[in-house]
Chain A
Amino acid sequence: EAGVVQSPRYKIIEKKQPVAFWCNPISGHNTLYWYLQNLGQGPELLIRYENEEAVDDSQLPKDRFSAERLKGVDSTLKIQPAELGDSAVYLCASSLHKLADTQYFGPGTRLTVL
Chain B
Amino acid sequence: DQQVKQNSPSLSVQEGRISILNCDYTNSMFDYFLWYKKYPAEGPTFLISISSIKDKNEDGRFTVFLNKSAKHLSLHIVPSQPGDSAVYFCAESGGSGGSNYKLTFGKGTLLTVNP
Q: Which residues of A contact B (CB under 8 A)?
A: 4, 9, 31, 33, 40-45, 48, 56, 91, 93, 95, 98-108
User: Given contacts A93-B43, A100-B32, A107-B43, is CB(A42)–CB(B99) below 8 Å?
Assistant: no
Assess whether B43 is in contact with A101, with CB atoms less than 8 Å apart. no
8 additional contacts (CB under 8 A) given A33-B101, A100-B49, A104-B43: A40-B108, A42-B89, A42-B107, A43-B105, A44-B105, A48-B102, A98-B100, A100-B102
Count the B residues whose beta carbon is within 8 Å of the partner chain — how many? 25
Q: Is B45 an interface residue (CB 8 A)?
A: yes
Q: Are B43's CB and A48's CB within 8 A?
A: no
Known: A33-B101, A42-B89, A107-B41. Contact between A101 and B46, CB under 8 A?
Answer: yes
Shortest beta-carbon distance from A74 to chain B in Å: 17
Q: Are B98 and A99 in contact (CB under 8 A)?
A: yes
Q: Tell me the B residues contacting A by CB distance below 8 Å.
A: 4, 9, 32, 34, 41-46, 49, 89, 91, 93, 98-108
Q: Which 3 A-B pairs have the closest CB atoms?
A: A42-B105, A105-B43, A100-B93
Is the Cβ of B44 less than 8 Å from the Cβ of A48? no
Out of A9, A31, A44, A91, name the residue touching B101 (CB < 8 Å): A31
- With beta carbons under 8 angstroms apart, the residue of B89, B91, B101, B104 that contacts A99 is B101
CB-nearest residue of chain B to A106: B43
